[in-house]
Amino acid sequence: MKHLLSAFFWLYLALSLMIFWFAVVPVWLLLLPFDRRRRFSHWYAWTWANHYVALSPFWRIAVEHGERIAADGTYVMVANHQSIGDIFVLYQLRKHFKWVAKDSVFIVPFLGWMMWMADYVPIRRGDQRSRDRMLQTCLAHLRRGSSILMFPEGTRSRDGELQQFRRGAFAMAVAADVPVLPIVIDGTLHALPQGTWVFQQDGRLDIRVRVLEPVAPGRFAGDVQALQDHVQAQMAAALDLLREASASTQREAGTSTQLQARG
């Protein structure tokens, strides 16, 4: 059953991507001269991603402390990375931002083209010149008021635990003098872990997203490593708290079920 449902999802994803892309191209071309920051394209990508979440009876997503994201604020947003599902989940923030993603994704038909139209930022792993171009492109976006969203672990975690962060996002925040906005996700690992196309969850999955307080790089006097270490420690602690709260909720639900059965 899991294989069948997963195959149906990926087929629907491919077909709907085609429809969404062909539908948006004329509007995108019309608005292009007036939409320098590609806000419409990002809104359209948000609509595309959120319609999957809305249609799915298997995911329930809760965003905590979204009010910490100022409507007019510009951030380097960093999130932990457990699953491909994180992409859909982070669009729930309803914030204008630019993804930083592997350059190979940008050549995927329809999906990559939509990312290019939204002016997201490609990077090639292991290529210093590509990293330098990515940094300069991101700094230009930040100067124009568009936030940047990155996975500082660089790749998906296989066990859901935080991996060592990479320097890029924090060096960018220091160079642009904009706050780092840490975001913690828990629950997506159980949906689609690395190395499989088959959804692994049983029943409905509760996914929680917690937005932490922004961290100004000025607190660390331009010390990129100190900023990175602080943010990673904050996110690790928040992830532990999320899991403790989820475990407590599950225990309470189990106790309630047992009491009802006895009654």
* pLDDT the model gives residue 5: 80
* pLDDT the model gives residue 255: 53
Pairing relationship of beta strands 205-211 and 180-186 according to DSSP bridges: antiparallel
Question: Does residue 202 surpass a pLDDT of 80?
Answer: no
* pLDDT the model gives residue 53: 83
Which are the contacts of 251, defined by CB distance < 8 A and separation ≥ 6?
none
Longest Cα separation, the chain: 67
Question: Does residue 111 surpass a pLDDT of 60?
Answer: yes
Question: Does residue 158 surpass a pLDDT of 90?
Answer: no
**Boundaries of every domain in the chain:** 2-262
* pLDDT the model gives residue 157: 84
Residue 137, both tokens = 């492109």
Query: At what angle are helices 224-262 and 168-176 packed, to 10 degrees?
Result: 120
Residue among 157, 143, 212 nearest 190 (CA): 157
The residue-averaged pLDDT of 229-247 equals 91
Structural domain 2-262, CATH architecture: 3-Layer(aba) Sandwich (3.40)
For the ranges 68-77, 175-184, 198-207, the lowest mean pLDDT is seen at: 198-207
Which are the contacts of 222, defined by CB distance < 8 A and separation ≥ 6?
174
Question: Tokens 């069948």 appear where?
Answer: 4
Q: Tens digits of per-residue pLDDT, 38-92?
A: 999 999 999 998 888 888 777 889 999 999 999 899 999 999 998 888 988 999 9
The residue-averaged pLDDT of 5-16 equals 87
Higher pLDDT, 259 or 8: 8
Question: Does residue 227 surpass a pLDDT of 90?
Answer: yes
* pLDDT the model gives residue 249: 64
What pLDDT band is residue 262 in, cutting at 50, 70 and 90? low
* pLDDT the model gives residue 26: 95
What pLDDT band is residue 248 in, cutting at 50, 70 and 90? low
What pLDDT band is residue 218 in, cutting at 50, 70 and 90? very high
* pLDDT the model gives residue 94: 87
* pLDDT the model gives residue 133: 94
